[in-house]
Structure 1
Amino acid sequence: MSHELPLLTPLEARILGVLVEKEKTTPDAYPLTLNSLTSGCNQKTSRDPVMNVGESEIQAALEELRSRVLVLETYGASGRVLRYAQNFGKCYGLPAASVALLTALMLRGAQTVSELRANCERLYRFNDASSVEAYLDELAALASGALVTRLPKQPGSREHRWAHLLCGPPSLPDHQTIGNDSGVNNTADLEERVSRLEIEVGELRNLIGRIGVDATGQS
């Protein structure tokens, strides 16, 4: 199936991310019950942003995901409790490595290549940073629509962060723009700061000059 699917809501993305994660990390408990899925969505660690959603909200999101075959219902081996499994990779036509990267981004927000490699360790083991970058570049250049984007560098940061596009363009600080590492607003902000610093330096020079004159007069 093509990945040309409607955009996900943040909760739908969280649900899919949790299902993919738990399938790999706790296979004995997978597929997940509604209670387990709720706990995974509201988990306080390894989540950005941290959510606090109820079972009714998750149930509604599951119905939407099920209608798009992104989630499958099953009663598992016991046949007593309804459980949920993900069908994310098949629906989007993605290899395991790409699914792992998107899962990490859905669960933890924007990350650098090195952060993604570390956070994907339990989902998929990448040999090195260059292999992570290769898969990210592939996801960003898909002919049917990019699924990730490289964000502008944050002030003081040495690495670019990446974000998924499954819920639409990510929100950025006002001074940053996607696809433009410097950005018009960023340049204007820098010019304003330089101008302000020049004024402050001038004032300091005048103050030092006055202190020197006073010292000379008193000697």
Structure 2
Amino acid sequence: MTDTPDTPARPLLDATQARLLGCLVEKEATTPDTYPLTVNAAQSAANQKTARDPLMNLDAGNVQHALRQLETMGLARQHFSSRADRYEHRLQAALDLTRQQTVVLALLLLRGPQTLAELVTRAERLHRFGDADEARHAIERLQQRELLVVLPRASGQREDRYMHLLCGDVDGAALAAAFASSGAAPAGAASHDPALAERVAQLETAVAELRAELDALRG
């Protein structure tokens, strides 16, 4: 991709930075009362056991270091206070994205490859897409800017899956083969009743967010 003054360069993140950036975007929408996030709240968000793929177990030191690196890249901004330093994302501004595009990227950062239907459903608490076409348009614009890629379809798969490129280029064929060999959807997706499983995941996420809020208040 040839960058022009009007096209911000694509950042290159490691897995920890990617997870935290996605968390900052998510919590801005879902827990506005405790946003920007403290390091402890960001750690709790990154280590959630629901709505995350893969699962992580990051310590506070790694989280703080990654947040500072995101700030250096212009993707996060630190707020200083007498009680605890807090961080907010700058993803939308830094890459000149729409809200729709920002939400799609955040979901991919948090949960890995997903279909259009999964993205629309899971975006509900961050941004309610008017219809699938609105989400598809955001995906197409991200693809044009080489921030997202369409993965090859796995054997028996009827829908395309999409993956962000903020951690560099991906081996689409290998990912497709992994889906095919597992015979199941990615972690967090449902095999029998997707709508019910997603509602359960949302409830579990809400509980995790309440715990993070309590941790933040105690901190």
The TM-score with structure 2 as length reference comes to 0.74
Cα drift, residue 113 of structure 1: 0.3
In the TM superposition, what whole-angstrom CA distance separates every residue of 1:156-189 from its partner, at most 9, and x where no partner exists?
A: 1110100000101224454959xxxxxxxxxxxx
Aligned residue runs from structure 1 range 60-99, under 5 A = 60-75=65-80, 79-99=82-102
1:156 matched residue in structure 2: 156
Tell me if the contact between 1:2 and 1:91 (Cα under 8 Å) persists in the aligned partners: no
Structure number with greater Rg is 1
Paired position in structure 2 for 1:138 = 141
Residues 27-80 of structure 1: CA deviation (Å, up to 9, x unaligned): 00101111010010111100001111111111111121111221111136xx42
Question: CA distance change for structure 1 residues 66 and 174 in 2, over 3 Å: closer, same or farther?
Answer: closer
Per the alignment, residue 147 of structure 2 pairs with 147
Q: 2:47 touches 2:58 (CA, 8 Å); kept in 1?
A: yes
Q: Is contact 1:12–1:61 with CA below 8 Å preserved after alignment?
A: yes
Note the alpha carbon deviations across 1:112-147, whole angstroms, 9 max, x for none.
Answer: 0000000111111111112211111111112xxx10
Deviation at 1:5, TM superposition (A): 4.1
Q: How does 1:26-175 map to 2 (within 5 A)?
A: 26-75=31-80, 79-142=82-145, 146-172=146-172, 174=174
- For 2:62, the aligned partner's letter is E
Q: 2:20 aligns with which of 11, 15, 20?
A: 15
Q: Distance in 2 between matches of 1:153 and 1:80?
A: 49
Percent identical: 40
Q: Contact 1:110–1:163 (CA<8 Å) still a contact in 2?
A: yes
Contact 2:30–2:125 (CA<8 Å) still a contact in 1? yes
Q: Which amino acid aligns with 1:92?
A: L
Gaps of 5+ in 1: 178-219
Q: Deviations over 1:91-119 (max 9, x none)?
A: 00001000000000000110000000001
Higher relative contact order (CA 8 A, sep 6+): 2
For 2:207, the equivalent position in structure 1 comes to none
The 1-side partners of 2:42 and 2:91 are apart by 16
* 2: CA distance, partners of 1:175 / 1:120: 23
- 1:53 is paired with a residue whose SS is coil
- Kindly report structure 1 stretches of 4+ aligned residues shifted beyond 3 Å: 171-177
